[in-house]
Amino acid sequence: MSYPPALLAVLDETLKISRFSVDDLPALEIGGWHVAVLLDDLAHLRSLAAVAMNDRDGAESTPLDIAYQLGRTAWIERLEALGAEGDKELLDWKGLGSFLSPDNFARLPGRQGIIKTLVRRYQQGRSLNDRDAAGNTPLHWLAANGHSKAANYFAKHFSKYCLDLNAKNNEGHTARNVAILAGHHDIAARLLIGEIDNYLQAARTWQQMLATMSGHWRN
């Protein structure tokens, strides 16, 4: 599987601090359109073959499916305008975490001690995906308020703390969307890497599960 040179260069640089490399992507059937959406980079649109716009990756997702799942607003608008295929229920899915007893993250400490406080909450059995009245998770709150150290820590260790990086608030924004809207682009950049890493790991897991099920069916 090949990618446009400019897109490949950006991808290679982005994956340097993730668990994946460019060499891992062909096995996951991640095409150029999928990569461009994951990177949230419309600059490469013209270099992509229209015939591959609805290709499915190893997780059976189209590029528009990924855009819906990750809240890639610009890509959603462009792909829908092009008539791309996608499951819009993915856009409406708010993600993990309880909405039943709204939390108040404004009670969290300032920059000093915020990581320890959230880690303690997790160790006490409380989900870090639970929401406040606006549907925000703690990660949304960190991104909105520019708590770079804490946001970057949890973006890096999202798997350890079972964080749903795709969780959307009541306005349909992910934590990364919130960081962008608030002008905290350093946080958004780290969350982008986390989102890509998370998606690729999920795609690998799904592909392995399908292979296992296929083996059972053959037997």
Write down the pLDDT at residue 216.
59
pLDDT digits (tens), the chain, 219 positions:
789 999 999 999 999 999 999 999 999 999 999 999 999 999 999 999 999 999 999 999 999 999 999 999 999 999 999 999 999 999 999 999 988 777 777 777 766 689 999 999 999 999 999 999 899 999 999 999 999 999 999 999 999 999 999 999 999 999 999 999 999 999 999 999 999 999 999 999 988 887 787 665 655
* Residues 12-23: tens digit of each pLDDT: 999 999 999 999
| 199 phi, psi to nearest 5 deg | -65, -45
Domains detected in the chain: 5-93 (no CATH), 94-219 (1.25.40.20)
Please tell me the distance from the alpha carbon of residue 98 to that of residue 132, in angstroms, as a whole number: 9
Write down the pLDDT at residue 51.
97
* Residues 198-209: tens digit of each pLDDT: 999 999 998 888
Residue of 131, 143, 134, 128 lying closest to 185 (CA atoms): 143
Please tell me the distance from the alpha carbon of residue 77 to that of residue 185, in angstroms, as a whole number: 22
Residue with token string 């015939």: 51
- The burial class, CB within 10 Å (0-12 / 13-18 / 19+), for 30 is buried
Write down the pLDDT at residue 215.
64
Write down the pLDDT at residue 218.
59
Q: What is the torsional sign of CA 206, 43, 187, 67?
A: negative
Q: What is the pTM of this model?
A: 0.91
Identify whether the C-beta of residue 131 lies closer than 8 Å to the C-beta of residue 99: yes
Q: At what angle do helices 73-81 and 32-39 cross, to 10 degrees?
A: 140
